[in-house]
Structure 1
Amino acid sequence: MAAISLDKVRETAPALVSLYKSAGASLTEHGLDGLRAAVYLVVDYSGSMRPYYRDGSVQALADRVLSLSAHLDDDGTVPVVFFSTGIDAVTDIALTTHQGRIDAIVAGLGHMGRTSYHLAMDAVIDHYLDSGTTEPALVVFQTDGGPINRPAAEKYLCKAARLPMFWQFIGFGDPDSRQFDFLRRLDDLPVPAKRVIDNAGFFHAGEDPRNVSDTDLYDRLVAEFPQWLSAARAQGIVR
């Protein structure tokens, strides 16, 4: 059973009903129906991301993640971290106020800086630990390029492997760009030489992420989560 019912979504966020149904179908297909998990969204606010805010790609991703979260978490909100050189904002999106929420947040932010993953990862880890939840977490981490401090990003991911958190990275932009070589390497970091379990996935959403179908996006978001859950439970990371 979903954490938030279809009737509740129809009442509070009718524009998300179709997304909610698609998310539920993907969760069922991957054996995750009825799972409870915290869901986070991390979005890149570096200067090169400007077109993706302007064309609605970031808002579309936020709506999709929020609709997925409605199946996994009953509070109707998703914590969101905006990052560039530092942390630009730690806020949330909610079923009741999702429309135009990304534009509203960005209107209050300052200069779009460079790309630094590890500070955003640290902010998510702090939020998760401070929440006191015992449920596992699915962190959807969107970016359009590699970080300025690659060793720090790798270090944080490896340390986070001991926490009940799975990091699903999504790339926006040219799939052939060398900018994404680091994320592909991060996805394949060896176990156990570098980290206790494989706690990350990566997929590319292309130059127009809005063209990725809902079914395809949800399948990619949750495809590796069951394997991670199994490994994390075997290690005692998830109980």
Structure 2
Amino acid sequence: MQRGYRTKLGDIHAPIKIDFHIAGPSEYDISCFGVDKNELLYDDSYMIFYNQLKSPDGAICMNGTSFNVNLDKLPSDVVKLVFTISIDGDGTMGMIHQINVKLSQLHQEDLVLNLTGSNFKDQKAIIAIEIYNKNEWRMNAVANGFNGGLSQLLKAYGGVEEEDVQAIPSTLASPISVIPTPTSKVSLEKKLEKNAPQLVNLAKPLKVALEKNKVPDIVAKVALILDISGSMTKIYKNRTVQSIVNKILPLAIQFDDNEELDFWYYGSRPKRMEAVTMSNYYNAVPVNYKPLMESLGYGNYEPAVMREIIEEYRTSSIPAYIIFITDGGVGSKREIKNLMIEASKYPIFWQFVGISGFGYGILKQLDTIKDRFVDNANFFALDDFNKVTDDELYDRLLKEFPSWLTEAKNKGIIR
């Protein structure tokens, strides 16, 4: 390929691999920007680079100095993938010895772009190739220099930088030094508006609660645990439980880098379900819930699902925020107490919520459990979930999470 070469791609259902080989005196970053029709970054999760190695749908994955792309998985609004090379630190693209970019696709001849510093001057970055959709998917060997480095590339596609500069470990062959963490700051409201418009009215009350409780801008896993014991029949039947899922999902979108809500049901036995997302939340709770209720037993045994949660998140590199919904009848006091003591050493915060029930047992005594490494849990009960305003719900859900984050950080449980 030469600069400006264009071609139609072959079978778009076949995965594409793009390999970069770069030789030169500087340190080089490679990135991919998933861009919409307005030439703007579709979402911050579609900037793929050394600190964010894949898109939420797995359509773009970075491995070392290679990208694997599955066009079938991309959202329809992503109409272009821009692959870039930028310099971290001193140097210019004109000083580079050689750039080799190879595009491989099953049953197709490899496309190779070879460049040297003579193709450029004082630029700090280049756009190497683009894969774009113009009635069909095509490829363009751009090979044009770009003034500025990764920061300018980010701004060119509508992103902004965080002000905090921190050292980030590199997964590339060439070492990466210190660089601001990029993000496009796509708001929760815009994400919901685009992907789950029925939930967009939840964005504002959640934002207010985040600000009121001074919840830091963090990445965390969010999990929802739902009681499906026999006594929950009424609120499954009237779809209150589906409403609970709807209102918890925005928390996961806010905190989770994959915008997914991990999800368990529990009765006498627990069952982990498919993660809840903006594309499947509306049927997370089956209309015909009875077979699931029957298969998990009609009782409620909290320790079993709690053990699964501990096993899942005890080695997590990021905090896990667990929202545990029950209508009461909680027994197993000694087991739950011991599990809470054990879990206090791990990056797990438990927010227990009682709904339409009674007999919450030890959950009402969480603050009195001794021998915990940190205070890792909170409980509140609602007389009727459907009568609680969204503002109050999010305020209560987030009231103690920030203090746990601070204490867990001070104790070395989380970074």
Equivalenced residue count is 230
Deviations 1:177-219 (A, max 9, x none): 3x0232111x2234xx32111100000111x211111010001
Q: Distance in 1 between matches of 2:349 and 2:190?
A: 29
Task: Give the structure 2 partner of residue 123 of structure 1.
Answer: 308
Q: Distance in 2 between matches of 1:3 and 1:79?
A: 22
Aligned counterparts, 1:38-117, within 5 A: 38-103=221-286, 106=289, 109-111=292-294, 112-117=297-302
8 Å Cα contact 1:4-1:70 kept in structure 2: no
Which range is displaced more, 193-202 or 109-118?
109-118
The runs of 5 or more residues in structure 2 that have no matched partner are: 1-182
Deviations 1:23-82 (A, max 9, x none): 122112111152221111001011101111112221111111101111111322211110
Normalised by the length of structure 2, the TM-score is 0.52
8 Å Cα contact 1:118-1:152 kept in structure 2: yes
Task: Give the structure 2 partner of residue 188 of structure 1.
Answer: 367
8 Å Cα contact 1:166-1:228 kept in structure 2: yes
Q: Distance in 1 between matches of 2:255 and 2:241?
A: 21
Confirm or deny that 1:171 pairs with 2:351.
no
Task: Give the structure 1 partner of residue 32 of structure 2.
Answer: none
Aligned counterparts, 1:194-205, within 5 A: 194-205=371-382
Task: Give the structure 2 partner of residue 29 of structure 1.
Answer: 212
The runs of 5 or more residues in structure 1 that have no matched partner are: none
TM-superposed CA distance for 1:133, in Å, is 4.1
Instruction: Specify whether residues 196 and 172 from structure 1 end up closer, same or farther in structure 2 by C-alpha distance, changes over 3 A only.
Output: same
TM-superposed CA distance for 1:88, in Å, is 3.6
Q: Distance in 2 between matches of 1:133 and 1:19?
A: 28
Q: Distance in 2 between matches of 1:198 and 1:4?
A: 31
> When you count strand as a share of all residues, which structure comes out higher?
2
Q: Distance in 1 between matches of 2:279 and 2:273?
A: 19
TM-superposed CA distance for 1:118, in Å, is 1.0
Instruction: Specify whether residues 44 and 110 from structure 1 end up closer, same or farther in structure 2 by C-alpha distance, changes over 3 A only.
Output: closer
Q: Distance in 2 between matches of 1:3 and 1:155?
A: 41
Normalised by the length of structure 1, the TM-score is 0.88
Deviations 1:120-174 (A, max 9, x none): 1111222324xx6411111000001143422111111110000111100000124
SS at match of 1:102: coil
Confirm or deny that 1:219 pairs with 2:413.
no
Deviations 1:5-37 (A, max 9, x none): 432221110011111221122112111152221
